[in-house]
Amino acid sequence: MLPTTNPAPPFAITRSSHVRMQVTDLERSRDFYRDVIGLVVTEETEDAVYLRGWEEVAHHSLILERGAEAKALAIGLRVRTDEDIVKAEAFCKQAGLRHERIELDHQGPTLRFVDPVGTHMELTSSMTLVERKHQRFAEFVAGAPQRIDHYQVATHDVQAATDFWTSIGMRLAEYTAKDGTDELWGTWMEVKGNTHDLVYTNGRGPRLHHFAYTVPDVSALMHAADVAGDLGFGDEIDRGPGRHGISNALFLYLRDPDQHRIELFTTHYQFIDLEDEPMRWDLSNAKRSQLWGMPATRRWFYEASEFPDEPVLEPLLQAAPATLEDVLGVH
Amino acid sequence: MLPTTNPAPPFAITRSSHVRMQVTDLERSRDFYRDVIGLVVTEETEDAVYLRGWEEVAHHSLILERGAEAKALAIGLRVRTDEDIVKAEAFCKQAGLRHERIELDHQGPTLRFVDPVGTHMELTSSMTLVERKHQRFAEFVAGAPQRIDHYQVATHDVQAATDFWTSIGMRLAEYTAKDGTDELWGTWMEVKGNTHDLVYTNGRGPRLHHFAYTVPDVSALMHAADVAGDLGFGDEIDRGPGRHGISNALFLYLRDPDQHRIELFTTHYQFIDLEDEPMRWDLSNAKRSQLWGMPATRRWFYEASEFPDEPVLEPLLQAAPATLEDVLGVH
Amino acid sequence: MLPTTNPAPPFAITRSSHVRMQVTDLERSRDFYRDVIGLVVTEETEDAVYLRGWEEVAHHSLILERGAEAKALAIGLRVRTDEDIVKAEAFCKQAGLRHERIELDHQGPTLRFVDPVGTHMELTSSMTLVERKHQRFAEFVAGAPQRIDHYQVATHDVQAATDFWTSIGMRLAEYTAKDGTDELWGTWMEVKGNTHDLVYTNGRGPRLHHFAYTVPDVSALMHAADVAGDLGFGDEIDRGPGRHGISNALFLYLRDPDQHRIELFTTHYQFIDLEDEPMRWDLSNAKRSQLWGMPATRRWFYEASEFPDEPVLEPLLQAAPATLEDVLGVH
Amino acid sequence: MLPTTNPAPPFAITRSSHVRMQVTDLERSRDFYRDVIGLVVTEETEDAVYLRGWEEVAHHSLILERGAEAKALAIGLRVRTDEDIVKAEAFCKQAGLRHERIELDHQGPTLRFVDPVGTHMELTSSMTLVERKHQRFAEFVAGAPQRIDHYQVATHDVQAATDFWTSIGMRLAEYTAKDGTDELWGTWMEVKGNTHDLVYTNGRGPRLHHFAYTVPDVSALMHAADVAGDLGFGDEIDRGPGRHGISNALFLYLRDPDQHRIELFTTHYQFIDLEDEPMRWDLSNAKRSQLWGMPATRRWFYEASEFPDEPVLEPLLQAAPATLEDVLGVH
């Protein structure tokens, strides 16, 4: 069954806002995100680097933290007010979700919690304001990403994840289901008025498949690819450029030095009106994943970043999309 | 004084949705918007043509109505639910605003009202759904506009207009004020999470200065200009291509056969978080209007479309931006 | 040994000009090149369709001829004057090359000949002039290819082919050689002042690997891909979008209904000055083929169009570039 | 009468190659061309800066020389071989043209001469080779100009200039003539196989109106404008972005700190075949100068850079194109 959105959620989520990644070589990762991807470095400390997109006035949308292992530490969402953090905390308590109030530099009231499928989340209601550099054109680098946009998480139970997030206000924009059934293989949920803030797809999980930034246009996307090639990261282009059927995103995926995956993309669409129906794609319809060209590799489909100390479960749904290896006849 | 946004507005506005223009030669105007601008024609009747952008699933975002005179008939906004129309009607009654419930083809419950500075508005909560043609790439025409985005209205009293709209939930993203004062010359207000849905600028009003559609990127914008030139509308490019300081829009303005003005643009920015402050621009700062290149002509600044039977008032604020004629020394 | 260009060639070749392809379903192929690729149809006869790019004033640069089998019939080059056709004929006679003067509609004096590695060539000195449609922006379709640019031919003997063409005036711009040797694996030769008019690469040949048209920019290239997807030819994108190291072309390859291959590309570079040295790439350097991303499939490397009644020979050089299948571990 | 091209010119010119500009503040001009335009600095000496485009392997295409006054020192063309310099010298002697053999750093044999309308020319047959940086994508700046392309010179006698240059091998691609007459107002002449290397237009002359570099695409062009605005040179955008009818160039003109003018542009077309006729534009046809949008200002039409000690003559032809001031009614 398709879940329906709670029109009166317990607290108000407003957008994807920041992602916290643990990396094993902080300087090398900083260089990658600054020079190859083209993010702005807001601040560096001994053990962390804070970055943001060129139009972002909030202090950070990507935090790199030094650690012994490559991990996805937390996926960040914004809530509207400080009061929403209080409400969210009460909600977690009532729902029996692991949660914790924490104090973090450059963030207002912040709540960590783990969703029912094990995704490590971080909610905050505000950040320190810094310069919006959207008109510092002379300083633009590589793809000149504008802002963080969404996350994709692999989960063993897409239905459970979707039920949870729609029950607290997220809305389904598009989804993939096993042919001839209502079994959900992937769900694209949004809260900020376009196609997605949070995506769950079927697979071993919870693991973060990628986080995504918007770029201004196809030229910026292609320039990012050219810059990656120039700087020795050409083999780390994990997929693309190509066009997703779902969401209409023109995409490019890259792997960072720890093999965390970032998507750069452009042109999804507005999704605000309540009468808009979520768009269904059959799992067998390869166009859901690419409107043209070849499918993604197994590497793209099956590699993702684990959360610390969070067990990875086998997916409930046995349904594998065709990979590039399948198409080329690899055994 | 800068108005503040009512956090609990009497009804929920969600976005700019449709504009209703009266035109004197319906076929000629249809051809212009279909062939030169590149909108999709959803439906034609004896006396009206309904058009939409390529990603719009709602039946129309531009309605051309046949009439004896060129007029702006109404600026349309969406509200979230049918219940919001009921609430809006109650609000208008209480506020003493001219208003009327009407029945219109392809729209759900609809309310017309006139705002305190004379702007003719139309609220609706839903529309007939049609095909989202965002992936019909082979049919794209000219600038291939994606969706309606915002309106700009000339008013005699920017402060009054801004006070009103922020009191019912709109939020100031950027504004222009007379140097050294708080006198508002122009206000860019939004409700959908980026820089503007509704703009008021100082001038003889109420008159509709322009309505705006987003295009995918700068190539689409330039192609629209080239197509306009090819089809004999090269002289109807009213301004641009250029870059606004305010909102960061890369813009192109065209005049239709009745001299109504449409803007095609790309790359404004997300504006969601409550701690974001509206950006101030001094009226004397030419960069607010263009980051580079020459200012707009008097024609662009001073010509606009009147609403039917609505008296046009002289602006309260005497503050004229520099025009191209000023810069070139025209007397 | 690198061949050197004859500074006083026996006749003056000026550019790549037209390619003649035999197709098994003329209407279907016409639709493909007109609607998916976006070429202009100049003229149709019972058994042939003539097409050209949007800036081409010559009658045709692609001729589709109806036939029982898919074949590459001839690769066309322009010579400067009618006198050059006479000189070319004398040259062929003296060199013992198969050749024939023929009369063709819309072409001036025309000479067919077969080069030393079996490539079927067609020289002409002029064509009927038609409209240059480069400013018919409103009619542009798909990638809106501007003009034919070059050909790539698979040959069993790259050295022989290169020796021949440089001896009659072509110039080497870039080349691939087996690592640590002077054995030529591929040669990019030009006559019109940029990187290539005629390319020979090592393989079973003679076979036409592809012919190439320039497109205005990366947006046009991506639009061509999107249009191909929209019109049901998404699986016929044979490679790309990507960036070649050699020539710097940003490329997209498509297969037509007979599996003939066309390249759309943008941004190669000027190559005029005599002191410019040809650029060498080692065969093992994957960047020669793509500056970033994955290598091409076996299909791209090994499938090509045969010339009628021309035996296909095994390559003299045993040196295989890494394919996508190799990289993915296909056996 | 339209001049015809000498098919056997006395020496072989191959392309536009370099321009030598005298500037009053060398550091400031270097910063402008490096940071705002985005050229590569090849070398700096005490009194000169050498720059080139990203695909240029020749040492320089722009030389800035420190001087007391802003001047255009010389317009450079390439000839094919050293022998062509010898032939050119003999030609100048015989033709009675002022000329001089000079030795210059980083250039092969070099000849300065003054053409019949007073244009200061510099021919050379080779340059020192440096790195072709066309694939150093990570270092690209602003418009990332690829290569020098052409020059436009104001002259008192377009007919004389055109007669001269066609008599030594240049070819007319497009031209403007006074309506109903053969009086030439402007001529676009080429030698490298596309629309122009050298342009003469009617006006007080000889003066260099502009020199031009190609950029990769419209996004690069617009980025150059945005960077100019960002770095405080927004008012130095002299014209555009716009589309010329003549040559089809999508253009942007900027003024350097000495008010020398540079054009960045993209998409002219190939012009090689002898049967192609030059395209005529009537002077009254505003589309020759812009396919859409407003005409250029008087400043664009009438300001240009003088050559040292070269008297400026009033134009023989009295024929003024409509300027922006004319259109706006400036008196």
Position B267 scores a pLDDT of 85
Name chain B contacts of A275, Cβ cutoff 8 Å. 126-127, 129
Asked if A172 and A195 touch (Cβ cutoff 8 Å), the reply is no
Q: What's the rounded Cα separation, in Å, for the pair B144 and B147?
A: 9
- State pLDDT tens for residues A151-160: 999 999 999 9
Place of tokens 């076979």: C207
Nearest CA in chain B to C133: B230
Q: Per DSSP, what are the bridge partners of residue D79?
A: D13
Share of chain A above pLDDT 90, in %: 96
Q: How confident is the model at residue C319 (pLDDT cuts 50, 70, 90)?
A: confident
Q: Which residue from B219, B229, B292 is facing D291, i.e. has the nearest CB?
A: B229
Name chain C contacts of A328, Cβ cutoff 8 Å. 297, 324-325, 328, 330
Asked if A54 and A136 touch (Cβ cutoff 8 Å), the reply is yes
Nearest CA in chain B to A15: B272
Q: How confident is the model at residue C270 (pLDDT cuts 50, 70, 90)?
A: very high
What DSSP state is assigned to residue D107? B
Q: Which residue from A243, A297, A329 is facing C229, i.e. has the nearest CB?
A: A243
Position A330 scores a pLDDT of 67
Judged by CB atoms closer than 8 Å, whether chains meet at B216 and A267 is answered as yes
The set of chains that have 3 or more CB pairs under 8 A with A is B, C, D
What order of strands is seen across the sheet that includes strand C120-124?
C40-44, C48-52, C62-66, C13-23, C71-79, C120-124, C110-114, C99-102
| Long-range interactions of D275-278: CB distance < 8 A, separation 24+ | D275/C126, D275/C127, D275/C129, D276/C57, D276/C129, D276/D173, D277/C129, D278/D2, D278/D172, D278/D173, D278/D174, D278/D175
Distance from CA of D107 to the nearest CA of B (A): 37
Asked if A48 and A60 touch (Cβ cutoff 8 Å), the reply is no
Q: How confident is the model at residue B331 (pLDDT cuts 50, 70, 90)?
A: low
Judged by CB atoms closer than 8 Å, whether chains meet at C230 and B136 is answered as yes
CB environment C233-260: b (16+ within 10 A), e (fewer): bbebbbbbbbbbbbbbbbbbbbbbbbeb
Q: What's the rounded Cα separation, in Å, for the pair C261 and C211?
A: 7
A-C C-beta contacts closer than 8 Å: 79
- State pLDDT tens for residues B212-247: 999 999 999 999 999 999 999 999 999 999 999 999
Position A331 scores a pLDDT of 57
Name chain D contacts of C266, Cβ cutoff 8 Å. 216-217
C331 pLDDT more than 60: no
Asked if C50 and C42 touch (Cβ cutoff 8 Å), the reply is yes
What are the backbone angles phi and psi of residue A37, rounded to the nearest 5°?
A: -85, -40
Cis status, amide bond into A241, omega within 30 of 0: yes
Name chain D contacts of A140, Cβ cutoff 8 Å. 223
Name chain C contacts of A291, Cβ cutoff 8 Å. 226, 229-230, 234
Closest CA relative to residue A250, chosen from A136, A128, A143? A143
Distance from CA of A325 to the nearest CA of C (A): 7
Cis status, amide bond into B241, omega within 30 of 0: yes
Position D319 scores a pLDDT of 81
- State pLDDT tens for residues B43-69: 999 999 999 999 999 999 999 999 999
Position B199 scores a pLDDT of 98
Neighbours of A89 (CB within 10 A): 18
Closest CA relative to residue C37, chosen from C246, C257, C303, C297? C257
Q: Which residues of chain A have pLDDT under 70?
A: 330-331
Position C236 scores a pLDDT of 96
Distance from CA of D27 to the nearest CA of C (A): 30
Q: In A, what residues contact B, Cβ < 8 A?
A: 14-15, 55, 57-58, 78, 80-81, 126-127, 129, 132, 134-135, 146-147, 192-193, 216-219, 245, 248, 266-267, 269-270, 272-277, 279, 291
Strand boundaries in chain A, DSSP class E? 13-23, 40-44, 48-52, 62-66, 71-79, 99-102, 110-114, 120-124, 147-155, 171-177, 184-190, 198-202, 207-214, 237-243, 250-255, 261-266, 279-282, 305-306
Q: Which residue from B226, B228, B329 is facing D330, i.e. has the nearest CB?
A: B329
Take residue A138 and report the two structure tokens written for it.
């002379």
Amino acid residing at D36: V
Q: Which residue from B58, B245, B266 is facing A273, i.e. has the nearest CB?
A: B58
Judged by CB atoms closer than 8 Å, whether chains meet at C146 and D57 is answered as no
Judged by CB atoms closer than 8 Å, whether chains meet at B230 and C137 is answered as yes
- State pLDDT tens for residues C22-69: 999 999 999 999 999 999 999 999 999 999 999 999 999 999 999 999
Distance from CA of B48 to the nearest CA of C (A): 25
Q: Per DSSP, what are the bridge partners of residue A152?
A: A199, A210
The set of chains that have 3 or more CB pairs under 8 A with B is A, C, D
B330 pLDDT more than 70: no
- State pLDDT tens for residues D116-153: 999 999 999 999 999 999 999 999 999 999 999 999 99
Give me the DSSP letters along A230-283: HTT-GGGEEEEEEE-SGGG-EEEEEE-TT--EEEEEE---B---TTPPPEEEET
Nearest CA in chain B to A195: B55
Asked if D57 and D78 touch (Cβ cutoff 8 Å), the reply is no
Amino acid residing at A166: T
Q: Which residues of chain D have pLDDT under 70?
A: 330-331
Judged by CB atoms closer than 8 Å, whether chains meet at A292 and C250 is answered as no
Kindly report the three-state secondary structure assignment for every residue of chain C: CCCCCCCCCCCCEEEEEEEEEEECCHHHHHHHHHHHHCCEEEEECCCEEEEECCCCCECCCEEEEECCCCEEEEEEEEECCHHHHHHHHHHHHHHCCCEEEECCCCECCEEEEECCCCCEEEEECCECECCCCCCCHHHCCCCCCCEEEEEEEEECCHHHHHHHHHHCCCEEEEEEECCCCCCEEEEEEECCCECCCEEEEECCECEEEEEEEECCCHHHHHHHHHHHHHCCCHHHEEEEEEECCHHHCEEEEEECCCCCEEEEEECCCECCCCCCCCEEEECCCHHHCCCCCCCCCHHHHHCCEECCCCCCECCCCCCCCCCHHHHHCCC
Whether the predicted model's global pTM rises above the 0.95 cut: yes
Distance from CA of D123 to the nearest CA of B (A): 36
Judged by CB atoms closer than 8 Å, whether chains meet at A230 and D136 is answered as yes
Place of tokens 């030609």: D91
Nearest CA in chain D to A133: D230
A-D C-beta contacts closer than 8 Å: 37
Q: In A, what residues contact D, Cβ < 8 A?
A: 35, 135-140, 142, 217, 219-220, 223, 226-227, 229-231
Q: What's the rounded Cα separation, in Å, for the pair B285 and A242?
A: 42
Name chain B contacts of A59, Cβ cutoff 8 Å. none
Judged by CB atoms closer than 8 Å, whether chains meet at A216 and B274 is answered as no
Q: Which residue from B137, B219, B220 is facing C227, i.e. has the nearest CB?
A: B137
B-C C-beta contacts closer than 8 Å: 37
Q: Which of A35, A37, A219, A231 to mutate to test the interface with D (most CBs of D within 10 A)?
A: A219
Position A267 scores a pLDDT of 85
Asked if B122 and B18 touch (Cβ cutoff 8 Å), the reply is yes
B127 pLDDT more than 80: yes
Position D321 scores a pLDDT of 86
Q: Nearest 5 degrees, angle CA C156-CA C161-CA C163?
A: 135
Distance from CA of D268 to the nearest CA of A (A): 20
Q: What's the rounded Cα separation, in Å, for the pair B239 and A184?
A: 49
Closest CA relative to residue A42, chosen from A15, A26, A61? A61
Nearest CA in chain A to B215: A267
Judged by CB atoms closer than 8 Å, whether chains meet at B217 and C220 is answered as no
Nearest CA in chain A to D219: A219
